[in-house]
Structure 1
Amino acid sequence: MDLKLAGRRALVTGSSSGLGAATARLLAKEGVAVVVHGRDETRADAVAKQVRADGGKVDVALGDLGTDAGADAVAGAALAGGDVDILVNNAGTYWPKSWAETTSQEWLETYDANVVSGVRMIQRLVPLMRDRGWGRVIQIGGGLAQQPSAEGAFYNATLAARHNLAVSLARELKDTGVTSNVVSPGAILVSTVQRIFEEAAPAFGWGESAEEIERGVVRDLLPNDIGRLGRPEEVAAAVVYLASPLADYVSGAVLRVDGGTIRTAF
């Protein structure tokens, strides 16, 4: 299927690994010129090399979106190569911690890294999309925004904020040709998630192989309707759809890619 994305240009924040890297690669395969973003030059360049090997067009933008200066640097590097039509706000941070362990400063730092970082990029890139009359803004959220767990409350709250701001932005962008939506993954088997489950495996008796651990996680911790964890490419496919003109009539929506983990009728 032709998603009619050829000739567009996208910045995917936090795309030097994981979901962001998978998204950048799939967008590039659809003919989008991508800007890979990260803080580590070696890792960002490695993803860019993969995109080029697949025949895609790619630039690299380095910087810490946790500061205004860093956001200026990333936006400047992204725009140096041309207009940015698609902004995927994927960059963020996560680590498991309980209510008792988390300080107020860590709440603030996580909110800045996971929410304000995306706001900074919206402020710098969306007005230009508006002027051109077409654009896409896609937040990477998560099921914990809707059904939060006790652990990681500081992280769960930032996901809820991402979902909320995307809908607010959609209302702001009414009749402009620019849309704002959310892709909400469940548990996706990226390297950081794999490490967390591997560390937990002995306590749960899940075994040692990746297949045994995945089965144990889905059985004991994260049941869903599919019976496995998600893959980065499955989240990337949802992003690519929302980025395309085929999603012109989708606004302020949350597209869940979670195997049915979040179970709501509405």
Structure 2
Amino acid sequence: MDLHLKGRRALVTGSSSGLGEAIARLLAAEGADVVVHGRNAARAEAVAETIRGDGGAATAAVGDLGTDEGADAVAALAGPVDILVNNAGVYDHMGWDDLTSGDWADIYNVNVIAAARMIRRLVPGMRARGWGRVIQIGGGLASQPMADAPHYNATLAARHNLATSLARELKGTGVTSNVVSPGAILVDHVRELVTRIAPARGWSGEWADLERAASGEWVPNDADRFGRPHEIAGAVAYLCGAYADYVSGATLRVDGGTVRSAF
């Protein structure tokens, strides 16, 4: 299937590893000219080099999106982009009793305000050119939060909300705004977290055993496993392409049925 991404330029924030890397690599494979973003120059350039080695087009842009200066630098390096995927974010497993007001402010800055910074810098150009895609990487915890990590849950809800608000703002411009909402995805930090909490939860055995236990008790879903990065990348690629021209203000859940809702 041709998603008609040839000639489009895409910035994927937080794409020097994990989920963002999978998104960047698939968009490049579909013909987009991809800007790989990260805070570590060597890691971002390594991903860009891998994409180029596979026959794709990619450059690296380094900067801390948690600051206006960093966002300015990344926007300048990226240049005019047609597709913005706001994937960059942080997560920690702190609970209500551990969190300070500073922790709340810090995670909002990185997970929410950083996305708004890039929207402000890049979407006006899309609007002027009459075509664009803006995609937030959200999550099921936005609508079904757990007790742990309340600050993280709340930032996901904010990402979903700002995407819908942006869709209303962009009415009739040719620019769409949507959310891809993953469930638990097997990236390095998720594997490390499951391995760390397994003893306290009575999970044991090989990794396959831990994944089965965690997907059954911790993040129960109908697929009985964690998702894989390429499955999220596929959803993002669809929303970037011509087949999603009529999709805006929507949330595309890719969570194996974790969220128990008909709507």
Pairwise same-fold verdict (TM > 0.5): yes
SS, match of residue 124 in structure 1:
helix
SS of corresponding position for 2:125: helix
Q: Which runs of 5+ in 2 are unaligned?
A: none
Q: Deviations over 1:120-168 (max 9, x none)?
A: 0000000000000000000000000000011000010000000000000
How many Å apart are 1:42 and its aligned residue?
A: 1.5
Structure 1 residue 60: deviation in Å?
Answer: 0.4
Report the equivalent of 1:11: 11
* In the alignment, structure 1 residue 33 sits paired with structure 2 residue 33: yes
Deviation at 1:54, TM superposition (A): 1.3
Per-residue CA distance 1:211-250 (angstroms, 9 max, x = gap): 1110110122111011111000000000000011110000
Q: Which residue of 1 aligns with 2:254?
A: 257
- Number of paired residues? 263
CA deviation after TM superposition for structure 1 residue 203, in Å:
2.1
User: After the TM superposition, which residues 185-204 of structure 1 pair with which residues of structure 2 at under 5 Å, given as runs?
Assistant: 185-204=182-201
User: In the alignment, is residue 210 of structure 1 matched against residue 226 of structure 2?
Assistant: no
Distance 2:190 2:63 in 1: 24
Q: Where does residue 153 of structure 1 map in the other structure?
A: 150
Matched ranges for 1:64-83 at <5 A: 64-79=64-79, 83=80
What secondary structure, in the 3-state scheme, does the structure 2 residue paired with 1:94 have? coil
Deviation at 1:187, TM superposition (A): 0.2
Q: 2: CA distance between counterparts of 1:213 and 1:148?
A: 22
Q: CA deviation at 1:67?
A: 0.5
Q: Is the 8 A contact 1:201 1:208 kept in 2?
A: no
Q: In structure 2, how many angstroms separate the alpha carbons of the residues matched to 1:204 and 1:145? A: 24
Deviation at 1:206, TM superposition (A): 2.3
Taking the aligned partners of 1:261 and 1:53, their CA distance within structure 2 comes to 36
Matched, 1:107 2:131: no
Write the letter of the residue equivalent to 2:90: T
Deviation, 1:52, is 1.3
Aligned partner of residue 233 in structure 2, secondary structure: helix
Query: 1:263, 1:235 → 2: CA distance?
Result: 19
Percentage of identical aligned residues: 65
Q: How does 1:19-98 map to 2 (within 5 A)?
A: 19-79=19-79, 83-98=80-95
Normalized against structure 2, the TM-score is what?
0.99
Q: Quick check: 1:188–1:232 contact (8 Å CA) kept in 2? A: yes
Contact 1:183–1:257, Cα closer than 8 Å, also in 2: yes
TM-score normalized with structure 1 length: 0.97
Aligned to 1:181: 178
Structure 1: gaps (5+ residues)? none
Which of the numbers 107, 120, 143 marks the counterpart of 2:140? 143
Q: Is the 8 A contact 2:180 2:254 kept in 1?
A: yes
Q: Quote the RMSD (CA, aligned, Å).
A: 0.8
Structure 1 contact 136–243 (Cα < 8 Å) conserved: yes
- The separation in 1 between residues aligned to 2:212 and 2:234, in whole angstroms, is 24
